[in-house]
């Protein structure tokens, strides 16, 4: 297997605050990797650096052969291959659900209208919202909006999808439907997925690997089974005992 994402001695600062410290990481094509750890541990910062939403100050970050540490890298082009699903949907409220899904492929990929519509319809079916295409985001629940956000990301046919706490803004009863769509995506052997989440059962069910972060460092990078069975660090044991008893 070959790496699609490589961090080499990456450092990230906000002023004097060291947000990411000595990040060395290889993500292989087709892997599903879950990032967990306490709030403020650098998980979202690490994730957002992969599609250039956060810039790094030192080290090298290579994504799909493109060097994000170089000013010459075309971030817009990179983002066509690296989809991102945020905590708060980021849908266009003045566009219908179908228009939301079809907009980027039309503009960026220059996808023909009929093909674009066909792809959008298939994606609506895939996220279990077949009859919702003509509605506007305001007419949908949080869980439905998040599934549309996922469909919109998939419409670009990305190689990598980043999920930044996709269920944390949702009511508990809506979390399941979003996670089940994500489980379905993770079955695709060609899709590389990174998820920042607090959903431990989801992590156990779907992840090939777990990265445990605290204080801007990756403290553990191990197989899912191993991590949940026998975390190596005291910090991870402490974290798991807190989250698993809630």
| CA 183/CA 181 separation, integer angstroms | 5
- What are the chain's domains? 3-243 (3.40.50.300)
DSSP state of 236: H
- φ, ψ of residue 23 to 5 degrees: the values are -85, 115
Q: Give the pLDDT score at 171.
A: 87
Helix, strand or coil for residue 230?
Answer: coil
Cα dihedral across residues 213, 219, 225, 229: positive or negative: negative
| CA 235/CA 84 separation, integer angstroms | 29
Inter-residue contact 20 to 11 (CB < 8 Å)? yes
Can you tell me the mean pLDDT for 96-118? 95
In sequence order, what DSSP letters do the residues of 16-80 get, joined into one string?
TEEEEEEEEEEEETT-EEEEE-STTSSHHHHHHHHTTSS--SEEEEEETTEETTSTTS-HHHHHH
Q: Give the pLDDT score at 1.
A: 62
pLDDT tens figures, 57-105: 999 999 999 999 888 888 888 888 999 998 888 899 999 999 999 999 9
pLDDT tens figures, 16-50: 999 999 999 999 999 999 999 998 899 999 999 99
| CA 180/CA 101 separation, integer angstroms | 20
| CA 102/CA 117 separation, integer angstroms | 7
Q: Give the pLDDT score at 69.
A: 83
In the predicted model, what is the mean pLDDT of the chain? 93
pLDDT tens figures, 119-142: 999 999 999 999 999 999 999 999
pLDDT tens figures, 207-224: 999 999 999 999 999 999
Q: Give the pLDDT score at 54.
A: 92
**Model-level pTM?**
0.94
Q: Give the pLDDT score at 71.
A: 84
């Amino acid at each position: 297997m070959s790496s699609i994402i490589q961090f080499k001695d990456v450092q990230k600062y906000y002023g004097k605050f060291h947000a990411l410290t000595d990040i060395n990481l290889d993500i292989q094509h087709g892997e599903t990797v879950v990032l967990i750890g306490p709030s403020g541990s650098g998980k979202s910062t690490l994730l957002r650096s992969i599609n250039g939403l956060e810039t790094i100050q030192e080290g090298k970050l290579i994504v799909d052969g493109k060097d994000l540490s170089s000013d010459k890298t075309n971030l817009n082009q990179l983002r066509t291959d690296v989809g991102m699903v945020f905590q708060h949907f980021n849908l266009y409220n003045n566009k219908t659900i179908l228009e939301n899904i079809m907009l980027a492929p039309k503009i960026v990929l220059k996808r023909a209208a009929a093909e674009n519509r066909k792809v959008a319809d298939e994606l609506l079916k895939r996220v279990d919202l077949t009859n919702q295409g003509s509605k506007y985001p305001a007419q949908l629940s949080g869980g439905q909006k998040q599934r549309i956000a996922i469909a919109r990301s998939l419409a670009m046919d990305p190689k990598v999808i980043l999920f930044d706490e996709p269920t944390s803004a949702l009511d508990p009863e809506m979390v399941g439907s979003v996670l089940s769509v994500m489980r379905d995506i993770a079955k695709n052997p060609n899709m590389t997925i990174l998820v920042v989440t607090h959903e431990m059962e989801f992590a156990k069910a779907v992840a090939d690997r777990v990265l445990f972060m605290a204080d801007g460092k990756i403290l553990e990078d191990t197989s899912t089974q191993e991590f949940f069975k026998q975390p190596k660090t005291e910090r991870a044991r402490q974290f798991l005992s807190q989250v698993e008893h809630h």
